[in-house]
Structure 1
Amino acid sequence: MRIGVIADTHVPSRAKKLPAALVEGLQGVDLILHAGDWVTLDIVQELEKIAPVDGIAGNNDGEEIVRRFGRKKLLTLAGYQIGMVHGDGRSKTTERRAWEAFKGEGVDVIVFGHSHIPLSRMQDGVLLFNPGSPTDKRRQPKFSYGIIQLGETVKANHFFYSDKS
């Protein structure tokens, strides 16, 4: 199973539409997971033209998005437990908050966003994955998204680009 992973799209405040490099890079995925800060449900419709979409709400999302997706989610995909949370909150780092959100839940992967900083690392046998942002790189050198492949093992890669148009 090939999963496109995005977060922090912030459309329309950070971009008027999804970047062409992102849309092209997501072609052929089986599912798209969004780790929050969609800002508008219009993005769901755009992403659904590519593949089925699931996700969670972030701190910049309104009640409509929260009702549709929730703030925390546990998915079973291809036999793996995937935890999703945006990662916002007080105290600690975004990564630490995401890790603690699924403590004791037996997850294989934790997908989170909020920091706009791409991250892919193992902690105690769990993959922590933040795709970064496809529209708001902040202090990062490039915009980014991720692809997670679930097969005999879990493989995760980031994809970077400079032009968000």
Structure 2
Amino acid sequence: MTSFKIGILSDTHLTAPSETFKKIAEACFHDTDMILHAGDLTDPEILTVFSGKEVHAVHGNMCSTLACQHLPSHKEIKVGGFTIGLIHRVGNTYDFEKRLIDIFPEADCIVYGHTHKPVCHRLGGVLYINPGSFTGTGYYGAGGTFAVLEVGETLQAQIYQIQAKR
């Protein structure tokens, strides 16, 4: 079975796609088939960078009114027989993975953002992915991270540090 690659990012916090953002996004996601943005993109114009790819996004707590009006708070995506839940946040961090599975009880994978801290692990048969902040956030988390999810016979994901110069 040929794998299907999904580029995952979150917490870009940009009001418009800069040339630097465009270059870094192209370098990170050139070989992906789909893009998932887990919120706090701030403005939906950011998603235009990914034209030509299937894009799914949710709004976050720092999004513009326009983004909140046009993007859902959470959604499910079906890919290769797997169900992926996409959300920005679900309240405070206490017991949040249980609350995520309550929102997406059929999910094989749950992608979320908000914390700016990259996470990629399995719990109870569910793959949890937080790509961290794509644009880097100093003391809030790692500087510039993203994830790639490969969908084949199984789900495999990895977090990457952005290496491009800003």
Partner SS state of residue 116, structure 2: coil
Counterpart residue type for residue 78 of structure 1? G
Instruction: Summarize the alignment of residues 9-28 of structure 1 with structure 2, pairs less than 5 Å apart.
Output: 9-12=12-15, 16-17=18-19, 18=21, 20-28=23-31
Aligned with 1:60 (options 54, 59, 62): 62
- Aligned residues: CA RMSD: 2.1
Q: Deviations over 1:34-83 (max 9, x none)?
A: 0000111210111225x221111100112321232200111111110100
Task: Please give the alpha-carbon distance, in whole angstroms, between the structure 1 residues aligned to 2:145 and 2:22.
Answer: 10
Conserved? CA contact 2:120–2:157, under 8 Å: yes
Q: In structure 2, what is the equivalent of residue 85 of structure 1?
A: 87
Gaps of 5+ in 2: none
Instruction: Summarize the alignment of residues 139-158 of structure 1 with structure 2, pairs less than 5 Å apart.
Output: 139=139, 140-158=141-159
Percent sequence identity over aligned pairs: 26
Conserved? CA contact 2:90–2:100, under 8 Å: no
So what's the TM-score if we normalise by structure 1? 0.86
Q: In structure 1, what is the equivalent of residue 47 of structure 2?
A: 44
Question: Structure 2 vs 1, CA of residues 64 and 141 (structure 1 numbering), >3 Å: closer, same or farther?
Answer: closer
So what's the TM-score if we normalise by structure 2? 0.85
Conserved? CA contact 2:90–2:99, under 8 Å: no
Task: Please give the alpha-carbon distance, in whole angstroms, between the structure 1 residues aligned to 2:165 and 2:41.
Answer: 16
Task: Please give the alpha-carbon distance, in whole angstroms, between the structure 2 residues aligned to 1:68 and 1:24.
Answer: 27
Count of aligned positions? 160
Task: Please give the alpha-carbon distance, in whole angstroms, between the structure 2 residues aligned to 1:19 and 1:108.
Answer: 30
Gaps of 5+ in 1: none
